[in-house]
Amino acid sequence: MRKILGQWVINLKPGILWFFCWSPDFNPHSKVHTHAQIWVRLMHLPQEYWRKQKLFEIVYGVGTLMIIDDATKSRLFGIYARILVDVDMSGKLFDFILVERE
């Protein structure tokens, strides 16, 4: 139990499994889910930012990177990069992401 709870979260690709310690008065119907997995589209992104590490850095402020779309990985489509992100919906949500470069 300590080993499992020490991990807190496991990436199941394409999902996340969160671990919490149960309390004696736990009621699953009263648990409010605040996390959701959403697809983020990065429009008009220069090709040099389509690498996995750069995409991770861009979406880090939004949530936890889950999956990069196959077309984005292989750079086949080219109009936008698409990334699946786990977002805490109880926090601040963003309408857009501004990517600046030197």
Q: Which residues contact 15 (CB under 8 A, 6 or more apart)?
A: 37, 66
Which tens digit of pLDDT belongs to each residue from 21-46? 777 887 778 777 788 888 888 888 88
- Dist CA 52 CA 70 (whole Å): 12
Q: What is the pLDDT of residues 39-97, one digit of tens each?
A: 888 888 887 888 888 888 888 888 888 888 888 888 776 788 889 888 888 888 877 77
Could you give the CA distance from residue 79 to residue 72 in angstroms, rounded to a whole number? 9
Question: What pLDDT is stored for residue 77 in this prediction?
Answer: 67
**pLDDT value at residue 70:** 85
pLDDT at 1: 62
The structure tokens listed for 65 are 């990177």
What is the predicted pLDDT for the residue at 34?
A: 83
Which sequence spans correspond to the domains of the chain? 31-102
pTM: 0.66
